[in-house]
Amino acid sequence: MGDPAAQPGGGSRRVPLRRTPQQARSKARLARVLQAAERVLVGEGVQALTTTRIAAEAQVSVGSLYQYLPDRDAIIDALAAGYFARLEAAMDDLVRVAAAERWEDPVGVLIDAYAAIYRTEHGFRALWFGSTLTERTRAADREHKRRMADGIRRILLTLGVARDDEVLARACHAAVLAADALSQEAFRRDPEGDPGLLDEAKLMLRGYLTGVTARCPRLPS
């Protein structure tokens, strides 16, 4: 199962907790709680994420849960952090793959890769579309998008299509913001991701990438 403080979703970034479990038994209990919270989120929605409901689903006492996650906001923050870590770990993997495969169509590869993740991450989508995100989660999401943008920057540098500077960093951040908005709408329309809208996103972002690489040409070696 890995580190339960990074569950669900994986990744190395730890979720925000009231206290961090030290013993294996406590870590296993926390992992069970977060998995239960995800089941409730997917099946019943954000409003059902109460400490009482999660404790019952996880078959732990409310007092035990309260040690780590004292309220709904803390549960939302913990779940979101796990999802962000999962997406960022996938980006790190894609950076490594880009170096080995030398993609002809990086936009298509990236959108297809993340669409595949969104199809299976039902809990992430439930939070992503929700209107009850906490301020802490919104702030974490902004930082998450910056880390994703840095992943795009590293891919473009790995592929050797752009020069590393502030213009490139800003453009990658703008591309992530645009891709996120289009992907949200595509998955609101269709649980599998509206294929027509995803194709339009690829078309738009390919054009943007062409403009970015023209503004940030790779220096001659």
Predicted confidence (pLDDT) per residue in 153-195, tens digit? 999 999 998 899 999 999 999 999 999 999 999 999 999 999 9
Residue among 13, 172, 15 nearest 89 (CA):
13
Give yes or no: residues 9 and 106 share one domain: no
Give yes or no: residues 89 and 183 share one domain: yes
What integer pLDDT is reported at residue 11 of this predicted model? 38
Share of the chain above pLDDT 90, in %: 63
The string of DSSP letters for 146-170 reads HHHHHHHHHHHHHHT-S--SHHHHH
pLDDT tens-place string over residues 203-215: 999 999 999 888 8
What integer pLDDT is reported at residue 220 of this predicted model? 65
Residue among 45, 14, 50 nearest 33 (CA):
50
Give the mean pLDDT of the chain: 87
Give yes or no: residues 39 and 140 share one domain: no
Inter-axis angle of helices 106-120 and 195-215, nearest 10: 140
Residue 64 pLDDT grade (very low, low, confident, very high; cuts 50, 70, 90): confident
- Quote the distance between the C-alpha of residue 213 and its chain's center: 26
What integer pLDDT is reported at residue 14 of this predicted model? 55
What CATH number is given to the structural domain containing 27?
1.10.10.60
- Structural domain harbouring 188: 80-215
What integer pLDDT is reported at residue 21 of this predicted model? 61
Read off the pTM.
Answer: 0.85
| DSSP-H helix ranges across the chain | 24-44, 51-58, 62-66, 72-101, 106-120, 122-128, 135-159, 166-189, 195-215
Give yes or no: residues 56 and 137 share one domain: no
What CATH number is given to the structural domain containing 125?
1.10.357.10
